Amino acid sequence: MVSRVIPVDPFDLVIFGGTGDLAQRKILPALFRRFCAGQWAEGAQLIGAARTSYDSVSFRKVVRESLLKFAAKQCKNGPALEAFLQRIDYVALDGSSKDGWAQLADKLKPERVRAFYFSVGPNLFGPLAERIEAHDLISPLTRIVVEKPFGHDLASAQALNATLAAHFSEKQIYRIDHYLGKETVQNLMAVRFGNMLFEPLWNSQYVDHIQITVAESVGIDGREEYYERAGAMRDMMQNHLMQLLCLIAMEPPAKFDPDSVRDEKLKVIRALDPVEPHHIVRGQFEDEDTGYRQIVGNPRSTTESYVALKAHVSNWRWAGTPFYLRTGKRLVARSSVINVMFKDAPHSIFGADAGRHANVLSIRLQPNEGITLKVTIKEPGPGGMRLVDVPLDMSFAEALGPENQDPPDAYERLVMDVIRGNQTLFMRGDEVEAAWAWTDPVIAGWQARGDVPKPYDSGSTGPGDAELLMKRDGRRWQGINP
Ligand code: NAD
């Protein structure tokens, strides 16, 4: 089954911060793959813009090196690489001064979709937005893309929203949470709203609880300064885990259009109860010589590299079904998975020791994107009625054939959605603010209590208290498996 590739309209895509890590490692390889797939229309071009004084030839050299390192194999070994590089231009430009803007203006064509990707720190969002407007670069087809972190708390997120709103309408602003671009996340919506099977069971009557785990095996290398100010709550929980929770918990939108979907997500965030202090566990990884505190160079650091919490969505559908969320660095494996834990059947006709368990729907985001439903069947053979749990595996690679072994990277989908003008998978300003409004009191609470994160071993599943959080409720976390 080969998916159809529909070329997007011709575009000028300007990447501010085009020489940076994110652009070179993620955005450019993603765009290259879309180019190889034939999605770029004739004449579409990409313009890197950053402070380094490259010209287009020297910038292309840098991009070539990055693509050879980070791009998909089947693409970079073909003739497409040279053709792609010919579509790339560069302008040396300082986002906070006048230099370079006239040259950039000369390269843009009025009739094309015009996207400005702010792949720079949030301190430059305001200066860039001002200069884009001052140089008369906002056409009817202009969009801007901004990266996380979108604010450090509610006040700073509101300030960022106000800064952008002074120059662009909400319809022109694309706030990226790359988790929303993952194939499985979109599939979660397809599974929920495209089938009759799950939706009638998707409520507190049939779902015992939901677990959302985003475990990383890597630490914070290279991001020490940022991370020490942010911690797991701000870096992951407020955005990625919150977005996953919204997609799991939201009501079916009337249509699959940006505002219908985002209205429903917003209702979920607004229905979240404040988190009780004893429903939060914070942790910090330890290691013989490269523990968290050594890495950040602060022996008294109280920043969490792990957080687990129990959340409640107070509405008719979910009252009584807890959502357990956890995320951390330097854990036993890299694994992002949502487990929908169904209730047990009300009565076992096979007896208590027949070996059956409740159904679990696992939605794996990484690695090996796919969906598995654990069901109970009879153990094969003549040995009486013994039951086993087996997975019904909807691994996308297997289900969709060999050409889908390598699903598109989230950035491929998201950047093409920007060009298409589809905001469904991007966060709206009010959503981000609502997420901070829920997060801020959690952080203020532990700061007021002088809470110190619990140590956990590098390579473990996190602090023991996170197990207790579940155990107290008579539940257990599912394993963190690679
Ligand atoms: P980086 O430091 O590697 O790159 C920053 C880029 O901005 C460089 O190209 C630099 O030349 C440019 N720049 C800096 N000041 C400038 C100015 N005054 N005018 C014009 N250009 C200027 O940073 P990064 O890792 O690429 O991250 C960029 C943004 O994306 C940050 O806000 C970061 O938090 C966010 N982000 C990064 C990642 C990642 O994986 N790297 C992931 C998610 C979000």
Three-state secondary structure readout of the chain: CCCCCCCCCCEEEEEECCCCHHHHHHHHHHHHHHHHCCCCCCCCEEEEEECCCCCHHHHHHHHHHHHHHHCCHHHHCCCHHHHHHHCEEEEECCCCCCCCHHHHHHHCCCCCEEEEEECCCHHHHHHHHHHHHHCCCCCCCEEEEECCCCCCCHHHHHHHHHHHHCCCCHHHEEECCHHHHCHHHHHHHHHHHHCCCCHHHCCCCCEEEEEEEEECCCCCCCCHHHHHHHHHHHHHHHHHHHHHHHHHHCCCCCCCCHHHHHHHHHHHHHCECCCCHHHEEEEEEECCCCCHHHHHCCCCCCCCCEEEEEECECCCCCCCCCEEEEEECCECCCEEEEEEEECCCCCCCCCCCCCCCCCEEEEEEECCCEEEEEEEEECCCCCCCCEEEEEEEEEHHHHHCHHHCCCCCHHHHHHHHHHHCCCCCCECHHHHHHHHHHHHHHHHHHHHHCCCCEEEECCECCCHHHHHHHHCCCCCCCCCCC
Span from the CA of 147 to the centroid of ligand 1 (angstroms):
9
Minimum-distance ligand 1 atom for the alpha carbon of 148: 44
Pocket flag, ligand 1, residue 320 (CB < 6 Å)? no
Per-residue model confidence as pLDDT tens digits over 261-307: 999 999 999 999 999 999 999 999 998 878 999 999 999 999 999 99
Q: Is pLDDT larger for residue 390 or for residue 427?
A: 427
pLDDT band at 203 (very low <50, low <70, confident <90, very high): very high
Going by pLDDT thresholds of 50, 70 and 90, the confidence category of residue 183 is: confident
Return the best residue to mutate from 14, 16, 19, 22 for the ligand 1 pocket (most ligand atoms within 8 A of CB): 22
Mean pLDDT within 460-479:
97
Confidence band of 403 (pLDDT split at 50, 70, 90): low
Q: Is the pLDDT of residue 195 over 90?
A: yes
Ligand 1 contact, 148 CB (< 6 A): yes
369: confidence class by pLDDT, cuts 50, 70, 90: confident
Which of the four pLDDT bands, split at 50, 70 and 90, describes residue 361?
A: very high
Q: What pLDDT is stored for residue 408 in this prediction?
A: 82
Rounded to the nearest whole angstrom, what is the distance from the C-alpha of residue 21 to the centroid of ligand 1? 7
Distance 20 CA to ligand 1 centre (A): 5
pLDDT level of residue 187 (50, 70, 90 thresholds): confident
Q: What is the mean pLDDT of residues 391-411?
A: 72
**Mean pLDDT, the chain, as a whole number?**
93
Distance 125 CA to ligand 1 centre (A): 11
CA-96 nearest atom, ligand 1? 18
**Pocket lining: 96 vs ligand 1, CB cutoff 6 Å:** yes
**Average of pLDDT values for 389-398?**
76
Say if ligand 1 is within 6 A of residue 52 CB.
yes
Whose Cα sits closest to atom 44 in ligand 1?
148
Across 39-61, average pLDDT: 96
Distance 18 CA to ligand 1 centre (A): 8
Binning pLDDT at 50, 70 and 90, where does residue 401 land?
A: low
Instruction: Give the model's pLDDT for residue 255.
Output: 94
Q: What confidence tier does 126 reach under pLDDT thresholds 50, 70, 90?
A: very high
Query: What is the atom index within ligand 1 of the atom nearest the CA of 18?
Result: 9
Instruction: Please tell me which residue, 228 or 368, carries the higher pLDDT value.
Output: 228
Q: Active site residue: 167, 178, 209, 240, which one?
A: 240
Q: Is pLDDT of 37 > 60?
A: yes
d(CA 455, ligand 1 centre) in Å: 31
Q: In which band, very low, low, confident or very high, does the pLDDT at 175 lie, cut at 50, 70 and 90? A: very high
Residue 355 Cβ contacting ligand 1 at under 6 Å:
no
pLDDT in tens, 60-93: 999 999 999 998 776 777 789 999 999 999 999 9
Q: Looking at residue 3, what is its pLDDT? A: 62
pLDDT value of position 398: 63
Question: Per-residue pLDDT for 2 more than 60?
Answer: no
pLDDT for 399: 61
Pocket mutation for ligand 1, best pick of 21, 91, 93, 427 (most atoms within 8 Å of C-beta): 21
Tell me if 94 CB under 6 Å of ligand 1. yes
What's residue 402's pLDDT?
Answer: 57
Cα of 427 vs centre of ligand 1, distance in Å, is 20
Query: Is 152 a known active-site residue?
Result: no
* Between residues 403 and 444, the one the model is more confident about: 444
50 lines ligand 1 (CB under 6 A): yes
Confidence of residue 166 (pLDDT cuts 50, 70, 90): very high
